[in-house]
Amino acid sequence: MTRASSRRPGPPTRTERGIPEATVARLPVYLRALTALSDSGIATASSEDLATAAGVNSAKLRKDLSYLGSYGTRGVGYDVEYLRYQIAREIGVTQDWAVVIVGIGNLGHALANYSGFGTRGFRIVALLDADPNLIGERIGDMEVRDFAELEDIVKADRVSIGVITTPAGPAQGVCDRLVAAGVTSILNFAPVVLSVPTGVDIRKVDLSIELQILAYHEQRKSGEAALPQVPELPAMNGLTDLPSVGGGVGA
Amino acid sequence: MTRASSRRPGPPTRTERGIPEATVARLPVYLRALTALSDSGIATASSEDLATAAGVNSAKLRKDLSYLGSYGTRGVGYDVEYLRYQIAREIGVTQDWAVVIVGIGNLGHALANYSGFGTRGFRIVALLDADPNLIGERIGDMEVRDFAELEDIVKADRVSIGVITTPAGPAQGVCDRLVAAGVTSILNFAPVVLSVPTGVDIRKVDLSIELQILAYHEQRKSGEAALPQVPELPAMNGLTDLPSVGGGVGA
DNA sequence: CCGATTTTGTTCTCACGTTCACAAGCTCCT
DNA sequence: AGGAGCTTGTGAACGTGAGAACAAAATCGG
Ligand SMILES: NC(=O)c1ccc[n+]([C@@H]2O[C@H](COP(=O)([O-])OP(=O)(O)OC[C@H]3O[C@@H](n4cnc5c(N)ncnc54)[C@H](O)[C@@H]3O)[C@@H](O)[C@H]2O)c1
Ligand SMILES: NC(=O)c1ccc[n+]([C@@H]2O[C@H](COP(=O)([O-])OP(=O)(O)OC[C@H]3O[C@@H](n4cnc5c(N)ncnc54)[C@H](O)[C@@H]3O)[C@@H](O)[C@H]2O)c1
């Protein structure tokens, strides 16, 4: 009743089944926690248990799960297997997605050798490189193939996800080729900003950036403790600011 | 500089020099963009130029930079070299941070071989592993050393950042050892939630999670287009917003 | 020297995300 | 059966972040 009257559906404006991006990013974490619990033979878990296993607080976890539906039982908790399936279904990893990796250097080799993707909803269908010396090399049960075969492979295997592990220079070109071939999701390790048409999703993993973020916080730690600078915290010395004219009401 | 005198009790109540976390995460991106511009011989850049190079919008970029101070010139733009130095200083990468990598398997090898860290403020001082077969192996100009030497190395080289590339099982144990040895920042690649005492920063890189996030959006794309399910998308008839998963900059 | 032009730095507003707090609902015990 | 004890699901308060818009500074042409 009150809803219909107001044209702006005030608070959430949530599209039907539209799950907030922040929640989407945590679902895989919950999925992993549930898998771990399941492997430990635990059949039921409370939001508190799950939250601990996933490293978040329980209110957030419950709210996140509530976007998927009501899969818990009050007074009891969540059935681990059931919830796991529901999350896997929501993410879309109940069946495998075909993935190509482009650029089989240091990082590409590591990814190709990694067994963890297969068990988490992904199937690497091709390792591609432009270097003739690499083509034909065997890695595990796969063989490095020519990047020129990209279009055929994408078409044949219905590949929708591409991983870019080439140097920064060729990355945009590789990206364009991937998109042109029909790939609509890209995971990029090269330290460049890729531009793609709307409708194509990009995620970037950048280790230098991660380290630099750590460095920022690290610097502040040592700065406060070690450097004999100004004590920082200019407060402490009496004035609680909150000043003069009665502006205090603000906000 | 009239800043210091008046505290606006209004909106942000930002601690002196406290930079929002979202901004901190973008500073390295700006730094990289500036380095690229500098390498191209460009001496001055407007916020629009910089924003394009960094893949963000210019208002956000300007606001981010304003937390560091007023380093631009109205009507002109930013001096590339000067701003680059200021950001590097703010992040704390004007001199190198010592880093150890623990677990020299597939991923550890790739990281050890990577030359990009040295130029971005980090110096890898040791490659550590527990496997006797690996110890002594040379990678580039470094040698894999016994994890047991950790404490000595941390002390000798004042290591504050540790990278964990061991399997999930040993990761928490390795983490505890790192923390006990004095490491206060950790970059974790193992698919587990590590727990650390307060004061220690953790960042996690999880490739499976990245792929699963892509899969979620991928599923919705094909779901909307292909699956003859419920019409879905009751919207389209008004709200144009919809965070548009599209061409967005993923991370 | 002044006004037109450019571009920054900042303010304001809205959207998104997090956390609290609690009613609703389930199980189990008496 | 009924109440005690848990735990979920969610409404509401709060905090943070994004983007539009604009006034304040700087340059440049006349
Ligand atoms: N290795 C790491 O630990 C690490 C860390 C952070 C970032 N990165 C980034 O990841 C990317 C890969 O790093 P790497 O160390 O594996 O580099 P690498 O040089 O070892 O491998 C790059 C591979 O890409 C191939 N390649 C080049 N151009 C290509 C093209 N046009 N089409 C197809 N293949 C092409 C090369 O033949 C090579 O095999 C780089 O952008 C690097 O900056 C790597
Ligand atoms: N390789 C990838 O592409 C990839 C992708 C995603 C996630 N990961 C994760 O990254 C981690 C490393 O992956 P990987 O493929 O390099 O594994 P790996 O098995 O090749 O290497 C692990 C290394 O850790 C060492 N190690 C084990 N226990 C140790 C201990 N207690 N102390 C010191 N060293 C120890 C092992 O000797 C081995 O050399 C894993 O947790 C994996 O799940 C890897």
Res. B97: pLDDT tops 70: yes
CB B168 within 8 A of CB B192: yes
Cα B16 from Cα B67, distance rounded (Å): 10
pLDDT at res. A16: 54
Q: A135 C-alpha vs ligand 1 centroid, how far in Å?
A: 15
Backbone angles phi, psi at B145, to 5 degrees: -115, 165
**Mean pLDDT across the stretch B89-110?**
97
How many residue pairs from chains A and B have C-beta atoms closer than 8 A?
A: 235
Q: Please say whether the structural domain B21-90 has been given the CATH code 1.10.10.10.
A: yes
Does strand D come within 7 Å of the CB of B236? Answer: no
- What tokens were used for B229? 């399910």
Res. A145: pLDDT tops 60: yes
Q: pLDDT by residue (tens digit) across A62-82?
A: 999 999 999 999 999 999 999
Res. B241: pLDDT tops 70: no
Handedness of CA A149, A152, A155, A158 (dihedral sign): negative
Res. B5: pLDDT tops 80: no
Phi-psi region of A158 (alpha: psi -120 to 50; beta: other; left: phi over 0): left
Least confident residue range of A203-207, A217-221, B141-145, B234-238 = B234-238
The protein residue nearest D25 (Cα–C1') is: B74
Q: What is the mean pLDDT of chain A?
A: 86
pLDDT at res. B16: 54
pLDDT at res. A17: 62
Res. B44: pLDDT tops 80: yes
Residue A50 touches chain B, beta carbons under 8 Å: no
Give Cβ neighbours of residue A37 (< 8 Å, ≥ 6 apart): A45, A49, A50, A53, A80
Cα A13 from Cα B239, distance rounded (Å): 9
Cα A42 from Cα A192, distance rounded (Å): 44
Res. B68: pLDDT tops 90: yes
Cα B41 from Cα B179, distance rounded (Å): 43
Res. A164: pLDDT tops 70: yes
The protein residue nearest C21 (Cα–C1') is: A59
**Mean pLDDT across the stretch B32-54?**
96
* Cross-chain residue pair A31–B212, CB shorter than 8 Å: yes
Locate tokens 């990047």: which residue? A147
Pairing between strand B138-139 and B142-146?
antiparallel
Residues β-bridged to residue A164 = A102, A188
**Quick one: what percent of chain B has pLDDT higher than 90?**
80
Query: Which of these, A245, A55, A81, lies nearest to B8 by C-alpha position?
Result: A245
pLDDT at res. A242: 29
pLDDT at res. A18: 83
**Is B130 touching ligand 2 by the criterion CB < 6 Å?**
yes
Res. A9: pLDDT tops 80: no
Residues β-bridged to residue A37 = none
**Is B169 touching ligand 2 by the criterion CB < 6 Å?**
no
Least confident residue range of A67-76, B10-19, B154-163 = B10-19
* Cross-chain residue pair A221–B245, CB shorter than 8 Å: no
Pick the CATH number of A97-207 from 3.40.50.2300, 3.40.190.10, 3.40.50.720, 1.10.579.10: 3.40.50.720
Amino acid of residue A85: Y
**Is B192 touching ligand 2 by the criterion CB < 6 Å?**
no
Q: What is the pTM of this model?
A: 0.88
Cα B65 from Cα B84, distance rounded (Å): 11
Cα A132 from Cα B30, distance rounded (Å): 35
Q: Where are the domains of chain B?
A: 21-90, 97-207
pLDDT at res. B18: 82
Q: Is B187 exposed, middle or buried (0-12, 13-18, 19+ CB in 10 A)?
A: buried
CB A177 within 8 A of CB A153: no
